[in-house]
Amino acid sequence: MRSNYRTYPGIAFYDASLRLYEGLAEDLDWQLDFNQSGHFTLAHTDSSITGLRIRAENNRLMGVDSRMVDRDELRRMVPTMDMSDRPRLPVLAALYHPPGGTIGHDEVVQGYGRACDAMGIEVHQFTAVTGLEVAGRKIVRVRTTQGDLSAGAILNATAGWATTISDMAGVPLPIVSQPLQACVTELIEPFLDYVIVSSNLHVYVSQTAKGELVIGSEVDPYQTYCTRSTLPTLEQMASYTLELFPQLHGIKILRQWAGVCDMTPDYAPIMGAAGELDNFFMDVGWGTWGFKAGPISGKCLAETIATGKAAALMEPFAPARFLSGKLLGEKAAASVSQ
């Protein structure tokens, strides 16, 4: 969880989401494992220091708590990290974002599901959309494995499968689906208070309250809908983690998994009306970074569908940007699975 993105629309959007997350346990009346422990993005080269500086300055202009820290301060704050010149790419500096942290994603989904149920909303699990019937400028029928439906508005929020749904309506999306893997280790004594992300090593590490380390990396460099985890990616996650924390040598991996990510050319999401059809909306292109945006994207899409006018915060993310060429350029801040 974090809001220290690079572009102004990105920073405003993710910050609004973080604020909703801060009050979500109360809103949902549900316990969420929300921990704003602080978030570091490490730089190992001069060019990444420059990139992180731009983010720090943009963040501060937008009122987001974010600043650069040098090696000495980093050494004091994260004493378990190897700050020596031993690693192939020594840590030179970092972007520090105090409100960043982690949240229990299962609890969030359970909390939302429970709140939807209390409002009379039906969630049909194990029900696949198999076709969309278009007449004129509208989708008039949604075919599913449990029968046909019709609705005033239809929202595509299917992440890694986004293009399979939009293709059914003849609406092309500039999205490719790539796997992203992560793993957790056995429980160890508390040794890491912060979320540590390395933009050069493409790895992130944090420790849960229970004691497991959660470790992840960048997307795998191929397109597939397969969610099998692989040995080369595990080796990559392990070797990069050991560059930062060599004392973890010998620690056991408990489990590893993969999800399918909907990657856009500018590493920013696609939200809003499809354009070609009046009742078809998109909330896709969330790639490796979408969980943190759930509350605000839901709120903005609900407003857009209810009023027929794009919510101001999500306007820059409209699908039409790929026709006008106004891409957002969020890659430097969205990559490394965040």
> For ligand FAD, what does the binding mask look like between residues 217 and 256, x meaning CB under 6 A?
----------------------------------------
Which runs of consecutive H residues, i.e. helices, occur in the chain?
A: 8-22, 24-28, 46-61, 71-77, 105-118, 162-168, 231-244, 294-307, 321-324, 331-334
Q: Which is nearer to ligand FAD, 51 or 295 (CB)?
A: 295
- Of residues 29 through 88, those in contact with ligand FAD by CB under 6 A are none
Tokens of 45: 């080269």
CB under 6 A: which stretch of 64-72, 84-92, 133-141, 289-297 binds ligand FAD? 289-297
d(CA 213, CA 23): 26
Q: In terms of C-beta density within 10 A (0-12 exposed, 13-18 middle, 19 or more buried), how is residue 77 classed?
A: middle
Single-letter residue type at 60: R
Closest to 71 in 3D by CA, of 51, 85, 59, 52: 85
Among 83, 289, 295, 333, binds ligand FAD (CB under 6 A): 289
Compute the half-sphere exposure of residue 27: CA atoms within 13 Å on the CB side of its CA.
12
d(CA 164, CA 167): 5
Dihedral angle, C-alpha 54, 55, 61, 67, nearest 10 °: -100
Least separation in angstroms between CB 308 and ligand FAD:
23
- Of residues 170 through 199, those in contact with ligand FAD by CB under 6 A are 180-182
d(CA 185, CA 163): 34
157 lines the binding site for ligand FAD (CB under 6 A) = yes
Among 30, 161, 191, 322, binds ligand FAD (CB under 6 A): 161
158 lines the binding site for ligand FAD (CB under 6 A) = yes
- Of residues 198 through 217, those in contact with ligand FAD by CB under 6 A are 216
269 lines the binding site for ligand FAD (CB under 6 A) = no
Q: Which is nearer to ligand FAD, 51 or 216 (CB)?
A: 216
Tokens of 166: 């939009």
> For ligand FAD, what does the binding mask look like between residues 92 and 131, x meaning CB under 6 A?
------------------------------------xx--
- The residues binding ligand FAD (CB under 6 A) are 128-129, 157-159, 161, 165, 180-182, 216, 259, 261, 286, 288-292, 337-338
